Structure 1
Amino acid sequence: MPQTIHFISIGGSAMHNLALALQQQGYLITGSDDEIYEPSRTRLQQHGLLPDEMGWFPEKVHADLHAVILGMHAREDNPELLEAQKLGLTIYSYPEFLYQQSQQKQRVVIAGSHGKTTITSIILHVLKYHNRAFDYLIGEEISGFDTMAKLTTDAPIIIIEGDEYASSPIDSRPKFLHYQPHIALISGIAWDHVNIYSTWENYVDQFESLAEAMPKAGILAFDESDDMLDVIGQKERPDITKIPYEAHPNEIVNGQTYLLTKQGAKIATLLFGEYNMKNIAGAMTVCDRIGITEEQFYAAIRSFKPVALRLEKIAQKTLPGLKSRLIFRDFAHSPAKVEASTEAVKRQYPGQRLMAIVELHTLSSLTKTFLSEYQNTLKSADQAIVYFDTHTGHYLDSTAPISSQDVIDAFSYANLHVFTEKGKLQDYILQLRDTADLFLFMSSGTFGGLNFNYLSDELL
């Protein structure tokens, strides 16, 4: 008889994908949540896993369950969690369960403050391109993959995007510490979640713990240009192989980036920017250790498409007698990433006029004490705009909410324009559309629900 697993907070990004993967394995899956958004709702519905009604129902938790998987969206006093604890059931966070399911596999974990989704995606793309058998967990939808998780009994390796945030409401340990990776990559460290890790030192400690907890004969790859990672990578662990990497050699010709190989070949890539060259080098380092040759890697990387909202070109048009007008969206929200993305676009298209538009969306970025971290991050832009929504939960939750003047003072950008209303932001951008060739929208949010299809049409 199939084993039954119950998900508390089944609608989460990783949670619902894990539920689908386990259903494909033959498990019976039940689940609850108090709110489920797209695309989770449609996916769960298509597979018969969408709860009949929203809310928490202790009667769904019973002694016949094989296990309960607890998502971060739940609280410690969740009625279903309390019932599971009362019955003495086995309760896992999803990283704990994933480890249980992959103990007989080679485990590769990609960690870091930035780049981990792109690095993981590149590795998955290369493995799929060469028809390798593998399992995976990734935090975003990516081209060529129907789900964000895959678990099988026969794949010899699993590639996991691992983050440093709490595993569950009852387990504050970082998720990536549960995986015990044979190979770990740390892409970079940029402190940008002060609500979770109140100090830089506390944040860095999580990555030190990952490096220190690796099993004997493990492999640790790291970006050697990151000062803090270089310190972590050089710490004494004679039983660990440490592999530093740096940005892949490249050149830009007429807005096209080419990877320069050791043999003198030039490989066209759809990625660009210093961070992405590091992401390619990191992925290549891992692929080398799991049996992918350089030749195989380069054959696959040509067709790799950027992950959605990672310096993604969402619209382009060339007008007669004019340079191309391009619109980019990027998930950049931390100060380091805002600076890097702005520099990357400007470097890719030298001589063209860049308008950079940033949304302050995270709780950290909306807090006065953190705002100064953005100083000079937009210096590569020809024009700069900052938007923040004073009606979001993060803004209302901030203990030191920011003002427009705070933003102007912090960014130290001459003639910076700041908006708190979506309509005024859109009107201003459209008024100035003929003063820029490149439009870069950077946010982990949606600019208050800005209609990018309409905006793109108008800008082009």
Structure 2
Amino acid sequence: MNIHFIAIGGSAMHNLALALHAKGETITGSDDAIFEPSLTRLKNAGLLPNILGWHPEKISTSLDAVVLGMHAKEDNPELLRAKELGIKIYSYPEFLYEQGKDKTRVVIGGSHGKTSITSMVLHVLNYCDKPTDYMVGAQLEGFDRMVSIESENEFFLIEGDEYLSSPIDRRPKFHLYNPNIAVISGIAWDHINVFPTFDSYIEQFRIFISKITPGGILIYNEQDEVVKTIVEESTNPIRMIPYKVPNYNIKNGITYLNTAHGDLPLAVFGEHNLSNLAAAKWVCQCMGVDEADFYEAIVSFKGASKRLELVARNQTSTIFKDFAHAPSKVKATTAAVKKQFQGVNFIACLELHTYSSLNPEFLVQYKAALELADTAVVFYDLEALKIKGMTKVSPEDIKKAFDRTDLIVFTSAEDFRNYVSELPLESRNSVLLLMSSGNYGAIDFGKLKSRLA
């Protein structure tokens, strides 16, 4: 096929382009801005556009399809040209479905844990030498790309995002995959710029359940009351498999999973990760991996990129960074670190970066999100609020929303960086947790790591 990508530089888009190129398809693309690592990876594959910008002359009847990324606008010149010529236009999830419509589609959905569950399943399948097509939202150790599509594979494992499909298709991505096997890890209100009420957000998961093919399987978190309710309400004729946090114990800072095969030491920790592990175990079993093989493989899983990622450790202190940004994720990550590292000075720092997190109406969802930290810090950039044209949020508003009067609040990236650099980590038994979906105020992690060397 001859396929053109509009907004090829996106994280998901460039990975799909690379996967199709590796498969032997003819790929072209355009974008008005391309950053690392997309830039180098596209360049190395010979797919980097010669000139940035939108060029409608690239769109001709020789194309079999156009894949439209979310970064593009509805009036994109290349999109308008493709419509004019009657070329088939796919959103990213539509195109993934086309590639996997004759395979067994396994879709991992939920407000949190999607990437971790998908990563765990891929790790186990790779360990057991069971190839599969996949799309995952993070770069994984041992995998060249976040997307892989091969003609001979039986399964297609997909991380099912509930965000919108494209500028001209406002359906959530995971509505388009029609899974044979599905997971719902949990539901916590997110994407309020698209789903302004919790009820409207929950409805997207009801629709997701209805899209599971009749006779298919839904693996769901029974400890999430919202998930449990909508699953029990469903009339879709499918098999429903509940899961929950498995039994475990912590000894000398290591989490051990209690199994019939003995206590297994894990490289990951926290009840949210153990819950994700329980979901991954069911998925793997549905994909033909037996329990003993799963346990043998999962002990070497070190975690998905940016999920409780170890930055540095010495005999007295430990530093983690984590992608947590939504309230439920911040609470879960903070609780995991607190439970794993008891009796130490626990400093939790959160950057508020997304549209939702900086919305005054949504901020109240963060109540008590950092209560388990000995020292709690929130950083947000006032300039970012101005650029996004959002209502000004004061440090007092932040303290009130988090319900913590001793909360330390920074509105300057420089001040936040200076604060972190001056923490006495070298001389005090401490754990520093940095959480953000942004760039952590441009902290130099190399310097931070060298302090604990």
Decide whether the 8 Å contact of 1:21 with 1:149 is kept in 2. yes
Tell me: CA distance 1:399–1:391, structure 2 relative to 1, closer, same or farther (3 Å). Answer: closer
Name the residue aligned to 1:34.
32
Select 1:277's aligned residue among 274, 278, 294: 274
Name the residue aligned to 1:321.
none
Given the alignment of the two structures, is residue 314 of structure 1 paired with residue 307 of structure 2, yes or no?
no
Name the residue aligned to 1:374.
366
Distance 2:403 2:204 in 1: 32
Tell me: CA distance 1:395–1:301, structure 2 relative to 1, closer, same or farther (3 Å). Answer: farther
Distance 2:373 2:146 in 1: 35
Deviations 1:223-273, CA, capped at 9 Å, x for gaps: 111111001111242621011100121111010011111x15011111100
Distance 1:76 1:435 in 2: 54
Decide whether the 8 Å contact of 1:355 with 1:436 is kept in 2. no
Given the alignment of the two structures, is residue 331 of structure 1 paired with residue 328 of structure 2, yes or no?
no
Name the residue aligned to 1:416.
407
Tell me: CA distance 1:133–1:431, structure 2 relative to 1, closer, same or farther (3 Å). Answer: closer
Tell me: CA distance 1:93–1:236, structure 2 relative to 1, closer, same or farther (3 Å). Answer: closer
Distance 2:92 2:432 in 1: 39
Give 1:417's aligned amino acid.
Answer: I
Distance 2:93 2:196 in 1: 24
Greater than 4 Å deviation, 4+ residue runs: none
List aligned pairs for 1:356-435, cutoff 5 A: 356-392=348-384, 396-433=387-424, 434=427
How far did residue 398 of structure 1 move? 4.8
Tell me: CA distance 1:398–1:202, structure 2 relative to 1, closer, same or farther (3 Å). Answer: farther
Q: Look up the SS of the partner of 2:201 in the other structure.
A: helix
Name the residue aligned to 2:166.
168
Distance 1:409 1:159 in 2: 42
Distance 2:370 2:324 in 1: 12
Q: Look up the SS of the partner of 1:391 in the other structure.
A: helix
Name the residue aligned to 1:72.
70
Given the alignment of the two structures, is residue 266 of structure 1 paired with residue 259 of structure 2, yes or no?
no
List aligned pairs for 1:101-112, cutoff 5 A: 101-112=99-110
Decide whether the 8 Å contact of 2:209 with 2:236 is kept in 1. no
Name the residue aligned to 1:6.
4
Q: Look up the SS of the partner of 1:73 in the other structure.
A: coil
Distance 1:351 1:229 in 2: 35
Decide whether the 8 Å contact of 1:113 with 1:188 is kept in 2. yes
Tell me: CA distance 1:47–1:430, structure 2 relative to 1, closer, same or farther (3 Å). Answer: closer
Q: Look up the SS of the partner of 1:110 in the other structure.
A: strand
Decide whether the 8 Å contact of 1:430 with 1:458 is kept in 2. no
How far did residue 205 of structure 1 move? 0.9
Q: Look up the SS of the partner of 2:441 in the other structure.
A: coil
Give 1:408's aligned amino acid.
Answer: K
Distance 2:157 2:55 in 1: 34
Decide whether the 8 Å contact of 2:338 with 2:346 is kept in 1. yes
Give 1:133's aligned amino acid.
Answer: P
Give 2:229's aligned amino acid.
Answer: V
Name the residue aligned to 1:187.
185
Tell me: CA distance 1:48–1:238, structure 2 relative to 1, closer, same or farther (3 Å). Answer: closer
Q: Look up the SS of the partner of 1:368 in the other structure.
A: coil
Select 2:439's aligned residue among 446, 453, 456: 446
How far did residue 399 of structure 1 move? 3.4
Distance 1:115 1:271 in 2: 13
Distance 1:108 1:218 in 2: 10
Give 2:415's aligned amino acid.
Answer: K
Distance 1:135 1:238 in 2: 26
Distance 1:398 1:339 in 2: 28
Tell me: CA distance 1:118–1:131, structure 2 relative to 1, closer, same or farther (3 Å). Answer: same
Distance 2:55 2:236 in 1: 51
Given the alignment of the two structures, is residue 219 of structure 1 paired with residue 217 of structure 2, yes or no?
yes
Given the alignment of the two structures, is residue 237 of structure 1 paired with residue 228 of structure 2, yes or no?
no
How far did residue 430 of structure 1 move? 3.8
Q: Look up the SS of the partner of 2:90 in the other structure.
A: strand
Give 1:390's aligned amino acid.
Answer: L
How many residues of Structure 1 are paired with residues of Structure 2 in the alignment?
Answer: 451
Distance 1:436 1:154 in 2: 52
Decide whether the 8 Å contact of 1:426 with 1:455 is kept in 2. no
Deviates further, 236-245 or 167-176: 236-245
Select 2:95's aligned residue among 87, 90, 97: 97
Q: CA RMSD in A?
A: 1.4
Decide whether the 8 Å contact of 1:367 with 1:401 is kept in 2. no
TM-score normalised by the chain length of structure 1: 0.95
Name the residue aligned to 2:295.
298
Distance 2:444 2:234 in 1: 52
TM-score normalised by the chain length of structure 2: 0.97
Decide whether the 8 Å contact of 1:389 with 1:395 is kept in 2. no
How far did residue 452 of structure 1 move? 1.7
Name the residue aligned to 2:283.
286
Distance 2:363 2:115 in 1: 25
Distance 1:250 1:90 in 2: 51
